[in-house]
Amino acid sequence: MQLFESTLDNRAAALSAHRALLDRAIQAIHERTFYAAYDENPKAYAEDGMKTGAAAYEALLGKPFSLKQASDTLLQAEEVSPYTGQPLGITYPAYQQPEGYLKAAQAAFTSWKATSPQTRALLLMESLARFKDGFFLQSFATQHTTGQGWMMAFQASGPHAADRALEAIALGYVEQSRFPEYQQWEKPMGKVSVHLKKHFRIVPKGIALTIGCSTFPVWNTLPGLYASLVTGNVVIVKPHPGAILPIALVVRDIQEVLAQYGFDPNIVQLAPDTAEHPITKTLAEDARVKIIDFTGSSQFGDYVEQLPGKITFTEKAGVNSILLDSTQDLKETMNNIAFSLCLYSGQMCTCPQNIFIPEGGIRVAGEQLPYDEVVKALVAAVAGLAGHEKAGPAVLGAIQNPATARRVRQASQLGKVLLESRTIANPEFPDARTASPLILEVPASKLDVLKQEYFGPIVFVVPTKHTEESIRLAAEIAAEKGAISCGVWCTDGPTLHHISDVMSEAATPVSANLAGPIYVNQNAGFSDFHVTGGNPSGNASLTDPAFIVRRYHLVGMRILSN
Protein backbone atom coordinates (compact mmCIF):
# COMPACT_ATOMS: atom_id res chain seq x y z
CA MET A 1 0.00 0.00 0.00
CA GLN A 2 1.50 3.32 -1.05
CA LEU A 3 0.60 5.65 1.74
CA PHE A 4 2.01 8.99 0.79
CA GLU A 5 1.02 9.93 -2.71
CA SER A 6 -0.07 13.50 -2.36
CA THR A 7 2.24 16.39 -1.67
CA LEU A 8 2.97 17.00 1.95
CA ASP A 9 1.80 20.35 3.22
CA ASN A 10 4.86 22.62 3.40
CA ARG A 11 4.17 23.48 6.98
CA ALA A 12 4.33 19.82 7.94
CA ALA A 13 7.20 18.69 5.73
CA ALA A 14 9.48 18.92 8.74
CA LEU A 15 7.38 16.23 10.37
CA SER A 16 7.97 13.56 7.77
CA ALA A 17 10.18 11.71 10.24
CA HIS A 18 6.96 10.46 11.83
CA ARG A 19 6.06 8.53 8.69
CA ALA A 20 7.89 5.38 9.69
CA LEU A 21 6.04 5.21 13.01
CA LEU A 22 2.73 5.85 11.25
CA ASP A 23 3.41 2.96 8.87
CA ARG A 24 4.37 0.70 11.77
CA ALA A 25 1.20 1.61 13.66
CA ILE A 26 -0.95 0.89 10.61
CA GLN A 27 0.70 -2.51 10.29
CA ALA A 28 0.13 -3.22 13.98
CA ILE A 29 -3.56 -2.38 13.75
CA HIS A 30 -4.01 -4.91 10.97
CA GLU A 31 -1.88 -7.63 12.59
CA ARG A 32 -3.22 -7.22 16.12
CA THR A 33 -0.14 -8.89 17.60
CA PHE A 34 1.56 -7.19 20.53
CA TYR A 35 2.71 -3.68 19.72
CA ALA A 36 3.41 -0.64 21.86
CA ALA A 37 4.85 2.54 20.44
CA TYR A 38 5.36 3.91 23.95
CA ASP A 39 7.07 1.82 26.62
CA GLU A 40 4.89 1.31 29.70
CA ASN A 41 7.93 1.09 31.97
CA PRO A 42 8.75 4.48 33.55
CA LYS A 43 12.41 3.47 33.62
CA ALA A 44 12.46 3.67 29.82
CA TYR A 45 12.15 7.43 30.15
CA ALA A 46 14.08 10.12 32.04
CA GLU A 47 15.99 8.79 35.05
CA ASP A 48 15.04 11.78 37.21
CA GLY A 49 11.50 11.79 35.80
CA MET A 50 9.78 11.23 39.14
CA LYS A 51 11.56 14.19 40.64
CA THR A 52 11.21 16.64 37.78
CA GLY A 53 7.64 15.47 37.12
CA ALA A 54 6.65 16.04 40.74
CA ALA A 55 8.29 19.45 40.73
CA ALA A 56 6.57 20.44 37.50
CA TYR A 57 3.24 19.36 38.97
CA GLU A 58 3.80 21.32 42.19
CA ALA A 59 4.71 24.37 40.13
CA LEU A 60 1.27 24.34 38.48
CA LEU A 61 -0.72 24.32 41.73
CA GLY A 62 -2.59 27.42 42.76
CA LYS A 63 -1.83 29.26 39.52
CA PRO A 64 -3.46 30.10 36.20
CA PHE A 65 -2.84 27.38 33.62
CA SER A 66 -1.64 28.76 30.34
CA LEU A 67 -3.07 27.72 26.97
CA LYS A 68 -2.75 29.12 23.46
CA GLN A 69 -6.51 29.28 22.92
CA ALA A 70 -8.57 32.47 22.99
CA SER A 71 -10.66 33.16 26.12
CA ASP A 72 -12.42 35.96 27.96
CA THR A 73 -12.26 34.79 31.58
CA LEU A 74 -10.47 32.51 34.03
CA LEU A 75 -12.31 29.58 35.58
CA GLN A 76 -11.53 28.60 39.15
CA ALA A 77 -11.57 24.80 38.96
CA GLU A 78 -12.94 22.49 41.66
CA GLU A 79 -10.18 19.90 41.45
CA VAL A 80 -9.31 18.30 44.79
CA SER A 81 -6.66 15.63 45.30
CA PRO A 82 -8.17 12.38 46.65
CA TYR A 83 -4.75 11.79 48.22
CA THR A 84 -4.33 15.04 50.15
CA GLY A 85 -7.89 16.34 50.33
CA GLN A 86 -6.49 19.69 49.20
CA PRO A 87 -7.75 21.71 46.22
CA LEU A 88 -5.32 22.00 43.32
CA GLY A 89 -6.28 25.66 43.09
CA ILE A 90 -5.65 25.97 39.38
CA THR A 91 -7.51 28.43 37.15
CA TYR A 92 -8.05 27.78 33.44
CA PRO A 93 -8.68 30.12 30.51
CA ALA A 94 -12.37 29.93 29.58
CA TYR A 95 -15.24 31.72 27.94
CA GLN A 96 -18.03 33.21 30.03
CA GLN A 97 -20.52 31.80 27.53
CA PRO A 98 -20.25 28.48 25.61
CA GLU A 99 -20.90 30.50 22.44
CA GLY A 100 -17.28 31.64 22.64
CA TYR A 101 -15.96 28.11 22.09
CA LEU A 102 -18.39 27.49 19.24
CA LYS A 103 -17.45 30.67 17.39
CA ALA A 104 -13.72 30.01 17.78
CA ALA A 105 -14.20 26.40 16.66
CA GLN A 106 -16.14 27.48 13.57
CA ALA A 107 -13.40 29.90 12.62
CA ALA A 108 -10.70 27.25 13.10
CA PHE A 109 -12.62 24.67 11.03
CA THR A 110 -12.09 26.50 7.72
CA SER A 111 -8.37 25.83 7.49
CA TRP A 112 -8.29 22.50 9.34
CA LYS A 113 -10.78 20.81 7.03
CA ALA A 114 -8.76 21.97 4.04
CA THR A 115 -5.56 20.45 5.47
CA SER A 116 -4.68 17.06 4.03
CA PRO A 117 -5.25 13.94 6.15
CA GLN A 118 -1.54 13.25 5.89
CA THR A 119 -0.53 16.63 7.28
CA ARG A 120 -3.14 16.31 10.01
CA ALA A 121 -1.79 12.88 10.98
CA LEU A 122 1.83 14.04 11.14
CA LEU A 123 1.01 17.15 13.15
CA LEU A 124 -0.96 15.07 15.64
CA MET A 125 1.94 12.62 15.91
CA GLU A 126 4.19 15.54 16.73
CA SER A 127 1.81 16.42 19.57
CA LEU A 128 2.26 12.86 20.90
CA ALA A 129 6.03 13.30 20.84
CA ARG A 130 5.54 16.38 23.00
CA PHE A 131 3.05 14.50 25.19
CA LYS A 132 5.63 11.80 25.76
CA ASP A 133 8.08 14.34 27.15
CA GLY A 134 5.48 15.15 29.77
CA PHE A 135 4.58 11.61 30.89
CA PHE A 136 5.95 12.16 34.40
CA LEU A 137 4.19 15.49 34.94
CA GLN A 138 1.04 13.85 33.56
CA SER A 139 1.34 10.97 36.02
CA PHE A 140 1.11 13.34 39.00
CA ALA A 141 -1.70 15.35 37.44
CA THR A 142 -3.67 12.14 36.90
CA GLN A 143 -2.83 10.68 40.30
CA HIS A 144 -4.03 13.79 42.13
CA THR A 145 -7.29 14.20 40.24
CA THR A 146 -8.39 10.58 39.72
CA GLY A 147 -6.91 8.90 42.78
CA GLN A 148 -5.15 6.29 40.66
CA GLY A 149 -2.01 4.78 42.11
CA TRP A 150 1.08 6.46 40.72
CA MET A 151 2.19 3.58 38.48
CA MET A 152 -1.26 3.18 37.04
CA ALA A 153 -1.54 6.93 36.50
CA PHE A 154 1.79 6.88 34.66
CA GLN A 155 0.82 3.99 32.41
CA ALA A 156 -2.85 4.75 31.79
CA SER A 157 -2.50 8.49 31.21
CA GLY A 158 0.93 8.15 29.59
CA PRO A 159 2.11 5.37 27.28
CA HIS A 160 -1.19 3.46 27.12
CA ALA A 161 -3.15 6.60 26.26
CA ALA A 162 -0.52 7.65 23.73
CA ASP A 163 -0.75 4.22 22.08
CA ARG A 164 -4.54 4.57 21.87
CA ALA A 165 -4.16 8.05 20.38
CA LEU A 166 -1.67 6.82 17.82
CA GLU A 167 -4.04 3.97 16.98
CA ALA A 168 -6.81 6.49 16.24
CA ILE A 169 -4.48 8.64 14.14
CA ALA A 170 -3.21 5.63 12.18
CA LEU A 171 -6.63 4.09 11.52
CA GLY A 172 -7.95 7.56 10.71
CA TYR A 173 -5.19 8.04 8.19
CA VAL A 174 -5.69 4.61 6.62
CA GLU A 175 -9.44 5.08 6.22
CA GLN A 176 -9.00 8.46 4.59
CA SER A 177 -6.38 7.02 2.22
CA ARG A 178 -8.42 4.02 1.18
CA PHE A 179 -9.93 5.42 -1.95
CA PRO A 180 -8.08 7.47 -4.56
CA GLU A 181 -8.38 11.23 -4.13
CA TYR A 182 -8.48 11.70 -7.90
CA GLN A 183 -9.50 9.23 -10.55
CA GLN A 184 -10.01 9.15 -14.29
CA TRP A 185 -13.20 7.28 -15.19
CA GLU A 186 -13.82 6.06 -18.72
CA LYS A 187 -17.04 4.34 -19.64
CA PRO A 188 -17.08 2.63 -23.02
CA MET A 189 -20.47 3.20 -24.71
CA GLY A 190 -20.38 1.45 -28.03
CA LYS A 191 -18.48 3.65 -30.49
CA VAL A 192 -17.76 6.42 -27.99
CA SER A 193 -16.43 6.62 -24.49
CA VAL A 194 -17.44 8.98 -21.72
CA HIS A 195 -14.54 10.38 -19.71
CA LEU A 196 -14.97 11.89 -16.29
CA LYS A 197 -12.36 13.25 -13.94
CA LYS A 198 -13.42 12.44 -10.42
CA HIS A 199 -12.35 14.01 -7.16
CA PHE A 200 -13.33 12.16 -4.02
CA ARG A 201 -13.29 14.62 -1.16
CA ILE A 202 -13.09 13.85 2.54
CA VAL A 203 -15.64 16.20 4.12
CA PRO A 204 -15.35 16.38 7.91
CA LYS A 205 -18.57 16.93 9.83
CA GLY A 206 -17.52 20.08 11.73
CA ILE A 207 -17.38 20.66 15.47
CA ALA A 208 -16.82 17.68 17.75
CA LEU A 209 -17.44 17.71 21.48
CA THR A 210 -15.41 15.35 23.68
CA ILE A 211 -16.84 14.89 27.17
CA GLY A 212 -14.39 13.44 29.69
CA CYS A 213 -14.84 11.49 32.91
CA SER A 214 -13.22 11.87 36.32
CA THR A 215 -11.50 8.48 36.56
CA PHE A 216 -9.77 8.21 33.19
CA PRO A 217 -9.61 11.79 31.95
CA VAL A 218 -6.86 11.05 29.42
CA TRP A 219 -7.09 7.38 28.39
CA ASN A 220 -10.80 7.65 27.65
CA THR A 221 -10.62 11.07 25.99
CA LEU A 222 -7.68 10.68 23.62
CA PRO A 223 -9.16 8.14 21.15
CA GLY A 224 -12.21 10.28 20.29
CA LEU A 225 -10.22 13.51 20.43
CA TYR A 226 -7.56 12.27 18.02
CA ALA A 227 -10.06 10.44 15.80
CA SER A 228 -12.02 13.66 15.33
CA LEU A 229 -8.92 15.75 14.73
CA VAL A 230 -7.26 13.43 12.21
CA THR A 231 -10.50 13.36 10.20
CA GLY A 232 -10.52 17.17 9.96
CA ASN A 233 -12.99 18.06 12.67
CA VAL A 234 -12.31 20.71 15.30
CA VAL A 235 -12.75 19.65 18.91
CA ILE A 236 -14.07 21.23 22.08
CA VAL A 237 -12.83 19.20 25.07
CA LYS A 238 -15.22 19.40 28.01
CA PRO A 239 -13.45 17.68 30.94
CA HIS A 240 -15.09 16.48 34.13
CA PRO A 241 -14.95 19.38 36.64
CA GLY A 242 -12.96 17.14 38.98
CA ALA A 243 -10.24 16.15 36.49
CA ILE A 244 -9.32 19.03 34.21
CA LEU A 245 -5.55 19.24 34.57
CA PRO A 246 -4.64 15.89 32.95
CA ILE A 247 -6.42 16.68 29.67
CA ALA A 248 -5.45 20.36 29.84
CA LEU A 249 -1.85 19.17 29.55
CA VAL A 250 -2.74 17.24 26.39
CA VAL A 251 -4.67 20.16 24.89
CA ARG A 252 -1.68 22.41 25.58
CA ASP A 253 0.64 20.02 23.73
CA ILE A 254 -1.62 19.92 20.69
CA GLN A 255 -2.17 23.68 20.66
CA GLU A 256 1.56 24.35 20.84
CA VAL A 257 2.27 22.07 17.90
CA LEU A 258 -0.56 23.67 15.90
CA ALA A 259 0.75 27.16 16.62
CA GLN A 260 4.32 26.16 15.86
CA TYR A 261 3.33 24.98 12.40
CA GLY A 262 1.15 27.96 11.61
CA PHE A 263 -2.25 26.48 12.39
CA ASP A 264 -5.02 27.98 14.49
CA PRO A 265 -4.58 26.66 18.06
CA ASN A 266 -8.37 26.83 18.50
CA ILE A 267 -8.63 23.68 16.37
CA VAL A 268 -8.73 22.08 19.82
CA GLN A 269 -10.10 23.99 22.81
CA LEU A 270 -10.42 23.19 26.48
CA ALA A 271 -13.88 24.12 27.80
CA PRO A 272 -13.75 23.60 31.56
CA ASP A 273 -16.75 24.09 33.82
CA THR A 274 -17.88 23.53 37.41
CA ALA A 275 -20.54 21.29 38.90
CA GLU A 276 -22.50 24.39 39.83
CA HIS A 277 -22.43 25.97 36.36
CA PRO A 278 -22.28 23.08 33.89
CA ILE A 279 -22.02 23.86 30.17
CA THR A 280 -22.10 20.34 28.72
CA LYS A 281 -25.75 20.27 27.67
CA THR A 282 -25.60 23.72 26.13
CA LEU A 283 -22.69 22.60 23.99
CA ALA A 284 -24.10 19.14 23.23
CA GLU A 285 -27.47 20.48 22.11
CA ASP A 286 -26.09 23.22 19.86
CA ALA A 287 -26.82 22.47 16.20
CA ARG A 288 -23.23 23.33 15.25
CA VAL A 289 -21.92 20.40 17.30
CA LYS A 290 -22.07 17.38 15.00
CA ILE A 291 -20.03 14.73 16.83
CA ILE A 292 -20.06 13.84 20.53
CA ASP A 293 -17.65 11.49 22.27
CA PHE A 294 -18.74 10.70 25.80
CA THR A 295 -17.43 8.65 28.72
CA GLY A 296 -19.42 8.56 31.93
CA SER A 297 -22.70 7.54 33.47
CA SER A 298 -25.37 5.57 31.62
CA GLN A 299 -27.91 8.23 32.41
CA PHE A 300 -25.98 11.03 30.73
CA GLY A 301 -24.79 8.71 27.96
CA ASP A 302 -28.37 7.76 27.11
CA TYR A 303 -29.20 11.45 26.93
CA VAL A 304 -26.27 12.03 24.56
CA GLU A 305 -27.26 9.11 22.33
CA GLN A 306 -30.80 10.37 21.81
CA LEU A 307 -29.81 13.92 20.81
CA PRO A 308 -31.15 14.42 17.28
CA GLY A 309 -28.77 15.07 14.41
CA LYS A 310 -25.58 14.00 16.22
CA ILE A 311 -23.07 11.27 15.57
CA THR A 312 -22.34 9.88 19.04
CA PHE A 313 -19.67 7.60 20.47
CA THR A 314 -20.40 6.58 24.04
CA GLU A 315 -18.83 4.53 26.79
CA LYS A 316 -21.28 4.19 29.65
CA ALA A 317 -21.53 1.82 32.60
CA GLY A 318 -21.70 -1.95 32.49
CA VAL A 319 -22.00 -4.82 34.92
CA ASN A 320 -19.07 -7.17 34.42
CA SER A 321 -19.02 -10.81 35.45
CA ILE A 322 -16.55 -13.48 36.39
CA LEU A 323 -17.49 -17.12 35.76
CA LEU A 324 -15.66 -19.68 37.86
CA ASP A 325 -15.98 -23.21 36.50
CA SER A 326 -12.60 -24.94 36.86
CA THR A 327 -8.91 -24.14 37.08
CA GLN A 328 -5.54 -25.85 37.18
CA ASP A 329 -4.17 -23.59 39.90
CA LEU A 330 -6.50 -22.11 42.54
CA LYS A 331 -3.92 -19.76 44.03
CA GLU A 332 -2.91 -18.29 40.67
CA THR A 333 -6.55 -17.79 39.77
CA MET A 334 -7.51 -16.15 43.04
CA ASN A 335 -4.47 -13.88 43.01
CA ASN A 336 -5.35 -12.85 39.49
CA ILE A 337 -8.98 -12.11 40.40
CA ALA A 338 -7.94 -10.32 43.58
CA PHE A 339 -5.70 -7.98 41.62
CA SER A 340 -8.51 -7.22 39.17
CA LEU A 341 -10.87 -6.41 42.04
CA CYS A 342 -8.36 -4.28 43.93
CA LEU A 343 -6.84 -2.37 41.03
CA TYR A 344 -7.80 1.31 41.42
CA SER A 345 -10.38 0.17 44.00
CA GLY A 346 -12.83 -1.11 41.40
CA GLN A 347 -13.13 2.26 39.65
CA MET A 348 -12.35 0.83 36.20
CA CYS A 349 -15.08 0.27 33.61
CA THR A 350 -13.60 -3.18 33.03
CA CYS A 351 -13.60 -4.20 36.72
CA PRO A 352 -15.68 -7.30 37.55
CA GLN A 353 -18.64 -6.93 39.89
CA ASN A 354 -20.55 -10.25 39.91
CA ILE A 355 -18.58 -13.45 40.53
CA PHE A 356 -20.63 -16.53 39.70
CA ILE A 357 -19.59 -19.75 41.45
CA PRO A 358 -21.52 -23.06 41.23
CA GLU A 359 -22.91 -23.99 44.66
CA GLY A 360 -21.39 -27.46 44.19
CA GLY A 361 -17.94 -25.89 43.93
CA ILE A 362 -15.43 -25.94 41.08
CA ARG A 363 -12.87 -28.41 39.71
CA VAL A 364 -9.33 -27.57 40.74
CA ALA A 365 -6.64 -29.60 38.96
CA GLY A 366 -9.21 -32.35 38.45
CA GLU A 367 -10.47 -32.42 42.07
CA GLN A 368 -13.80 -30.95 43.19
CA LEU A 369 -13.34 -28.06 45.63
CA PRO A 370 -16.46 -27.14 47.67
CA TYR A 371 -18.07 -23.73 47.19
CA ASP A 372 -17.14 -22.53 50.67
CA GLU A 373 -13.49 -23.32 50.06
CA VAL A 374 -13.52 -21.41 46.78
CA VAL A 375 -15.08 -18.38 48.44
CA LYS A 376 -12.60 -18.60 51.31
CA ALA A 377 -9.69 -18.61 48.88
CA LEU A 378 -11.08 -15.61 47.03
CA VAL A 379 -11.68 -13.60 50.20
CA ALA A 380 -8.23 -14.47 51.49
CA ALA A 381 -6.56 -13.38 48.26
CA VAL A 382 -8.38 -10.02 48.22
CA ALA A 383 -7.76 -9.42 51.94
CA GLY A 384 -4.11 -10.34 51.47
CA LEU A 385 -3.50 -7.95 48.59
CA ALA A 386 -5.54 -5.06 50.02
CA GLY A 387 -3.86 -5.50 53.40
CA HIS A 388 -0.36 -5.76 52.01
CA GLU A 389 1.61 -2.87 53.43
CA LYS A 390 3.35 -1.87 50.22
CA ALA A 391 1.24 -3.36 47.43
CA GLY A 392 -2.11 -2.43 49.00
CA PRO A 393 -1.97 1.36 48.73
CA ALA A 394 -0.06 1.20 45.42
CA VAL A 395 -2.62 -1.05 43.74
CA LEU A 396 -5.81 0.33 45.29
CA GLY A 397 -4.93 4.00 45.02
CA ALA A 398 -7.59 6.38 46.32
CA ILE A 399 -11.32 6.91 45.82
CA GLN A 400 -11.93 9.70 43.29
CA ASN A 401 -15.39 10.72 44.41
CA PRO A 402 -16.77 11.00 47.97
CA ALA A 403 -20.04 9.54 46.58
CA THR A 404 -18.19 6.31 45.75
CA ALA A 405 -16.94 6.03 49.32
CA ARG A 406 -20.49 6.59 50.59
CA ARG A 407 -21.80 3.93 48.20
CA VAL A 408 -19.37 1.38 49.63
CA ARG A 409 -20.50 2.15 53.17
CA GLN A 410 -24.17 1.78 52.23
CA ALA A 411 -23.73 -1.37 50.13
CA SER A 412 -23.06 -3.78 52.99
CA GLN A 413 -26.80 -4.28 53.52
CA LEU A 414 -27.20 -5.68 50.00
CA GLY A 415 -26.09 -9.18 50.96
CA LYS A 416 -24.17 -11.31 53.42
CA VAL A 417 -20.83 -9.69 54.17
CA LEU A 418 -17.90 -11.95 53.28
CA LEU A 419 -15.25 -9.24 53.54
CA GLU A 420 -15.68 -5.79 55.07
CA SER A 421 -14.39 -2.74 53.26
CA ARG A 422 -11.81 -0.85 55.27
CA THR A 423 -9.53 2.10 54.81
CA ILE A 424 -6.01 1.49 53.58
CA ALA A 425 -3.15 3.16 55.38
CA ASN A 426 -1.06 5.12 52.90
CA PRO A 427 2.18 6.23 54.58
CA GLU A 428 2.86 8.83 51.88
CA PHE A 429 -0.66 10.32 52.02
CA PRO A 430 -2.19 9.94 55.49
CA ASP A 431 -5.33 11.87 54.40
CA ALA A 432 -6.02 9.73 51.33
CA ARG A 433 -9.67 8.70 50.77
CA THR A 434 -9.43 4.90 50.51
CA ALA A 435 -11.65 1.84 50.61
CA SER A 436 -10.71 -1.79 50.14
CA PRO A 437 -13.16 -4.10 48.30
CA LEU A 438 -16.38 -5.00 50.07
CA ILE A 439 -17.31 -8.59 49.20
CA LEU A 440 -20.91 -9.69 49.67
CA GLU A 441 -22.70 -12.92 48.94
CA VAL A 442 -25.88 -12.28 46.97
CA PRO A 443 -28.30 -14.99 45.88
CA ALA A 444 -28.82 -15.47 42.13
CA SER A 445 -32.47 -14.59 42.65
CA LYS A 446 -31.67 -10.98 43.65
CA LEU A 447 -31.51 -9.78 40.08
CA ASP A 448 -32.36 -6.19 41.02
CA VAL A 449 -29.01 -6.03 42.84
CA LEU A 450 -26.99 -8.03 40.31
CA LYS A 451 -28.27 -6.02 37.36
CA GLN A 452 -27.18 -2.69 38.79
CA GLU A 453 -23.69 -1.26 38.55
CA TYR A 454 -22.31 -0.41 41.99
CA PHE A 455 -19.37 1.69 40.89
CA GLY A 456 -16.35 1.28 43.16
CA PRO A 457 -14.88 -1.51 45.31
CA ILE A 458 -18.11 -3.51 45.66
CA VAL A 459 -18.09 -7.19 44.72
CA PHE A 460 -20.89 -9.75 44.72
CA VAL A 461 -20.22 -13.48 45.03
CA VAL A 462 -23.19 -15.32 43.56
CA PRO A 463 -23.75 -19.05 44.14
CA THR A 464 -25.43 -20.66 41.12
CA LYS A 465 -26.92 -24.08 40.46
CA HIS A 466 -24.20 -24.84 37.94
CA THR A 467 -21.98 -23.19 35.35
CA GLU A 468 -24.84 -23.17 32.85
CA GLU A 469 -26.80 -20.91 35.19
CA SER A 470 -23.71 -18.73 35.70
CA ILE A 471 -23.46 -18.28 31.95
CA ARG A 472 -27.15 -17.53 31.55
CA LEU A 473 -27.04 -14.86 34.25
CA ALA A 474 -23.84 -13.22 33.01
CA ALA A 475 -25.18 -13.07 29.46
CA GLU A 476 -28.60 -11.79 30.49
CA ILE A 477 -27.07 -9.03 32.62
CA ALA A 478 -24.61 -8.08 29.85
CA ALA A 479 -27.33 -7.93 27.21
CA GLU A 480 -29.70 -5.95 29.38
CA LYS A 481 -27.36 -3.66 31.33
CA GLY A 482 -24.18 -3.82 29.31
CA ALA A 483 -20.76 -5.32 30.03
CA ILE A 484 -17.25 -4.42 28.94
CA SER A 485 -15.40 -7.49 30.19
CA CYS A 486 -16.03 -11.06 31.30
CA GLY A 487 -13.44 -13.14 33.14
CA VAL A 488 -13.73 -16.91 32.86
CA TRP A 489 -11.81 -19.73 34.49
CA CYS A 490 -12.65 -23.00 32.79
CA THR A 491 -10.39 -25.89 31.82
CA ASP A 492 -13.01 -27.64 29.69
CA GLY A 493 -12.65 -26.74 25.98
CA PRO A 494 -16.26 -27.24 24.86
CA THR A 495 -17.65 -25.34 27.88
CA LEU A 496 -15.26 -22.47 27.20
CA HIS A 497 -16.30 -22.44 23.57
CA HIS A 498 -19.94 -22.36 24.64
CA ILE A 499 -19.31 -19.44 27.00
CA SER A 500 -17.59 -17.56 24.20
CA ASP A 501 -20.59 -18.21 21.91
CA VAL A 502 -23.14 -17.08 24.46
CA MET A 503 -21.24 -13.99 25.63
CA SER A 504 -20.56 -12.95 22.05
CA GLU A 505 -24.32 -12.66 21.54
CA ALA A 506 -24.21 -9.97 24.22
CA ALA A 507 -21.16 -8.51 22.43
CA THR A 508 -19.04 -9.02 25.54
CA PRO A 509 -15.35 -9.89 25.25
CA VAL A 510 -14.26 -12.94 27.24
CA SER A 511 -10.84 -13.35 28.87
CA ALA A 512 -10.14 -16.92 29.87
CA ASN A 513 -7.83 -18.57 32.37
CA LEU A 514 -5.70 -15.50 33.02
CA ALA A 515 -2.73 -15.95 35.36
CA GLY A 516 0.39 -13.99 36.10
CA PRO A 517 0.75 -10.34 35.17
CA ILE A 518 -2.23 -10.08 32.80
CA TYR A 519 -5.70 -9.10 33.98
CA VAL A 520 -9.26 -9.01 32.70
CA ASN A 521 -9.33 -5.21 33.27
CA GLN A 522 -6.60 -4.58 30.73
CA ASN A 523 -7.07 -3.91 27.03
CA ALA A 524 -4.06 -3.62 24.76
CA GLY A 525 -3.86 -0.85 22.17
CA PHE A 526 -3.47 -2.04 18.56
CA SER A 527 -4.91 -5.45 19.50
CA ASP A 528 -7.93 -5.40 21.81
CA PHE A 529 -11.08 -3.53 20.87
CA HIS A 530 -12.38 -1.69 23.93
CA VAL A 531 -16.17 -1.73 24.42
CA THR A 532 -17.83 -3.40 21.45
CA GLY A 533 -20.73 -1.02 20.90
CA GLY A 534 -23.06 -4.03 20.86
CA ASN A 535 -24.58 -3.83 24.33
CA PRO A 536 -25.85 -1.02 26.59
CA SER A 537 -22.37 -0.27 28.00
CA GLY A 538 -21.69 1.93 24.99
CA ASN A 539 -22.35 2.41 21.30
CA ALA A 540 -18.74 2.66 20.14
CA SER A 541 -15.58 0.57 20.14
CA LEU A 542 -11.99 1.79 20.54
CA THR A 543 -10.77 1.67 17.86
CA ASP A 544 -12.73 -0.09 15.16
CA PRO A 545 -13.36 1.34 11.68
CA ALA A 546 -16.86 2.53 12.67
CA PHE A 547 -15.18 4.75 15.30
CA ILE A 548 -13.41 6.57 12.46
CA VAL A 549 -15.50 6.55 9.31
CA ARG A 550 -18.60 8.14 10.80
CA ARG A 551 -16.67 11.37 11.45
CA TYR A 552 -16.58 12.48 7.80
CA HIS A 553 -18.30 11.96 4.48
CA LEU A 554 -17.00 10.97 1.08
CA VAL A 555 -18.26 13.44 -1.51
CA GLY A 556 -17.52 12.79 -5.17
CA MET A 557 -17.05 15.65 -7.63
CA ARG A 558 -17.14 14.83 -11.36
CA ILE A 559 -16.23 16.84 -14.43
CA LEU A 560 -16.49 15.79 -18.03
CA SER A 561 -13.05 15.44 -19.62
CA ASN A 562 -13.93 14.20 -23.11
Among 194, 365, 403, 425, binds a second copy (CB under 8 A): 194
Q: Residue 200 Cβ, how far from a second copy at the closest point, in Å?
A: 7
Q: Is 232 in the site for a second copy (CB under 8 A)?
A: no
Nearest residue to 560 via CA among 186, 202, 37, 89: 186
Q: Residue 354 Cβ, how far from a second copy at the closest point, in Å?
A: 19
* Residue with smaller CB distance to a second copy, 353 or 523: 523
Which residue stretches of 390-492 are H helix?
A: 391-396, 402-411, 447-450, 467-481
Q: Is 126 in the site for a second copy (CB under 8 A)?
A: no
Task: Pick out residues in 20-39 that bind a second copy (CB under 8 A).
Answer: 30-34
Per-residue binder mask for a second copy (CB under 8 A), 265-304, x = binder: ----------------------------------------
Per-residue binder mask for a second copy (CB under 8 A), 301-320, x = binder: ----xx-x------------
Q: Residue 158 Cβ, how far from a second copy at the closest point, in Å?
A: 17
Q: Indicate the DSSP class of residue 66.
A: P
Q: Is 385 in the site for a second copy (CB under 8 A)?
A: no
Q: Indicate the DSSP class of residue 17.
A: G
Stretch that binds a second copy, among 250-258, 347-355, 389-397, 537-545 (CB under 8 A): 537-545
* Residue with smaller CB distance to a second copy, 86 or 193: 193
d(C-alpha 210, C-alpha 292), whole Å: 6
* Residue with smaller CB distance to a second copy, 271 or 520: 520
Concatenated DSSP letters for 185-226?
EEEEETTEEEEEEEEEEEEE-SEEEEE--SS-TTTTTHHHHH
Euclidean distance between the first and final Cα of the chain, in Å? 30
d(C-alpha 225, C-alpha 168), whole Å: 9
Q: Is 151 in the site for a second copy (CB under 8 A)?
A: no
Stretch that binds a second copy, among 116-124, 149-157, 267-275, 539-547 (CB under 8 A): 539-547
* Residue with smaller CB distance to a second copy, 250 or 381: 381
Q: Is 494 in the site for a second copy (CB under 8 A)?
A: no
Amino acid present at 526: F
> To the nearest 5 percent, what fractions of the chain are helix, strand and coil?
45, 20, 40
d(C-alpha 347, C-alpha 456), whole Å: 5
Amino acid present at 444: A
Among 196, 394, 444, 449, binds a second copy (CB under 8 A): 196
Strand pairing class (192-204; 182-189): antiparallel
3 state SS for 288-354:
CEEEEEEECCHHHHHHHHCCCCCEEEEECCCCEEEEECEECCHHHHHHHHHHHHHHHHHCCCCCEEE
Q: Which residues bind a second copy (CB under 8 A)?
A: 30-34, 175, 178-180, 183-189, 192, 194, 196, 198-201, 203, 205, 305-306, 308, 496, 500, 504-505, 507-518, 524, 527-529, 532-534, 541, 544-546, 549-550, 553-560, 562
